[in-house]
Amino acid sequence: MNNEMKALVKAHAREGLWLQTAPVPEIGPDDVLIRVNKTGICGTDIHIWNWDAWAAGTVPVPMITGHEFAGQIVETGRNVEGLEIGQRCSGEGHLIGKTSRQSRAGKFHLDPATRGIGVNEQGAFAQYLRLPAFNVVPLPDEISDDIGAILDPLGNAVHTALSFDLIGEDVLITGAGPIGIMAAAVARHVGARHVVITDVNPDRLALAERVADVVPVNVAQEDLGNVIARLKMRQGFDVGLEMSGNQAALDQMIEAMTMGGRIAMLGIPPGKSPVDWSRIVFKAITIKGVYGREIFETWYKMIAMLENGLDVSGVITHRFKADEFEAGFAAMKSGSSGKVVLDWT
């Protein structure tokens, strides 16, 4: 193996990313080296590209970005057991500690000392990635590298959607970005009755309708009260999945929930966000914040559902060679794309 590789680097503390040559990472005894085949561009990567206040305060420079990937193990550390060279894999990009109360209770996704690849540690937008063997998730043959590269955001969708029992329930999803659309597909797959997805972007609503069997609603044109009547729902939605981080969307969701409804929130509001708490109290609504994926229960569930017919492949709308990353980021920034996948082979 040549010990240099191509990598997409946050090389300067300003807008942009730069495709550079970097040393292939050296692995420790508990790590594996993965040859990266495909990667997905995430909203997080757009923040890092734009170098907004969050990115500037979080990401040290230089940093290889990216955390959504699929590839193949090419080297294993001397302590690594149960993984083989040549094995196809994706992996959890959150590197967790093992000493916190949460980790020791097996709730790895709640470890306060979590570090993220592509954010705090060198990332996956490269030909090779070092990852602790603990974080590796082997891919069955039926799951392609394209889907393997979007298991991280699909995991966000699955974690959010499975926060509450959806069987026979009426589900409202606010925000038809890729994660909202994939959550809609999951909600249908597990047996929800009505699944309504809202947005104000017609391209995203059209994509949602193509990918999942959902009712798309443009809330710039139709009121959710109207939709509740049109679908002959009794009172309102039983479960809400907030995926937009948009203040108006959260307000509409709380208005449209039934008594005792349950809301899982993955969308991140831009700042402090005023909410009519009296509505939440008098409707006896339960709200759950969702972060990342449950390690590794979400991974288990999503791979099992993919093996059992869950199809989210339509959410990938653009594919580019890694050298064409600028076009990939432009597609993401257009606001109308689904997932954008980069090819590193």
Closest CB 206 distance from Zn ion, rounded Å: 23
**Contact, 167 vs 239, CB < 8 A?**
no
Q: How many other C-beta atoms are found inside a 10 Å radius of the C-beta of residue 289?
A: 11
Closest CB 92 distance from Zn ion, rounded Å: 11
Residue span binding Zn ion (CB under 5 A) among the ranges 114-122, 147-155, 209-217, 248-256: 147-155
- Which of 22, 32, 42, 303 contacts Zn ion by CB under 5 A? 42
Q: Compute the distance between CA of residue 65 and CA of residue 10 in angstroms, rounded to an integer.
A: 7
Catalytic residue among 12, 21, 39, 44: 44
Q: x/- string (CB under 5 A) for Zn ion, residues 225-254? A: ------------------------------
3-state helix, strand, coil split of the chain in percent (to 5) is 30, 30, 40
Closest CB 40 distance from Zn ion, rounded Å: 7
- If the CB atoms of residues 111 and 152 are measured against Zn ion, the closer one turns out to be 152
- If the CB atoms of residues 42 and 70 are measured against Zn ion, the closer one turns out to be 42
**Contact, 12 vs 48, CB < 8 A?**
no
Look up 47 and say whether it is catalytic: yes
33 phi and psi, to 5 degrees? -105, 130
Cα 240 to Cα 16, 161, 163, 229, 253: the distances in Å are 36, 9, 10, 17, 7
Q: Compute the distance between CA of residue 101 and CA of residue 81 in angstroms, rounded to an integer.
A: 26
Residue span binding Zn ion (CB under 5 A) among the ranges 112-120, 149-157, 260-268, 303-311: 149-157
Catalytic residue among 47, 58, 286, 317: 47
Residues in contact with Zn ion, counted by CB under 5 A, come to a total of 2
Residue span binding Zn ion (CB under 5 A) among the ranges 38-46, 99-107, 230-238, 279-287: 38-46
- If the CB atoms of residues 47 and 107 are measured against Zn ion, the closer one turns out to be 47
Q: Which tokens belong to 255? A: 């208005």
Long-range contacts of 297-304 (CB under 8 A, 24+ apart): 298/109, 298/155, 298/158, 298/159, 298/162, 299/92, 299/137, 299/151, 299/155, 301/158, 301/162, 302/151, 302/154, 302/155, 302/158, 303/137, 303/139, 303/140, 303/143, 303/151
Closest CB 123 distance from Zn ion, rounded Å: 11
Q: How many other C-beta atoms are found inside a 10 Å radius of the C-beta of residue 300?
A: 12
Confirm or reject binding of residue 341 to Zn ion (CB under 5 A).
no
Closest CB 229 distance from Zn ion, rounded Å: 37
- If the CB atoms of residues 152 and 294 are measured against Zn ion, the closer one turns out to be 152
Instruction: Decide: helix, strand or coil at residue 266.
Output: coil
Residues 6+ apart with CB under 8 A from 28: 77
- If the CB atoms of residues 179 and 205 are measured against Zn ion, the closer one turns out to be 179
- If the CB atoms of residues 42 and 73 are measured against Zn ion, the closer one turns out to be 42
Of 18-37, which residues contact Zn ion (CB under 5 A)? none
Look up 44 and say whether it is catalytic: yes
Confirm or reject binding of residue 9 to Zn ion (CB under 5 A).
no
Closest CB 91 distance from Zn ion, rounded Å: 13
256 phi and psi, to 5 degrees? -90, 0
- If the CB atoms of residues 43 and 269 are measured against Zn ion, the closer one turns out to be 43
Task: Taking each helix axis as running N to C, give the angle between helix 151-161 and helix 297-307, from 0 to 180 degrees, rounded to the nearest 10.
Answer: 100
Confirm or reject binding of residue 117 to Zn ion (CB under 5 A).
no
Instruction: End-to-end CA distance of the chain: give it in Å, rounded.
Output: 15
The one-character DSSP state at 24 is P
Closest CB 84 distance from Zn ion, rounded Å: 27
Residue span binding Zn ion (CB under 5 A) among the ranges 138-146, 152-160, 199-207, 281-289: 152-160
Catalytic sites, residue numbers: 44, 47
Q: Which residues bind Zn ion (CB under 5 A)?
A: 42, 152
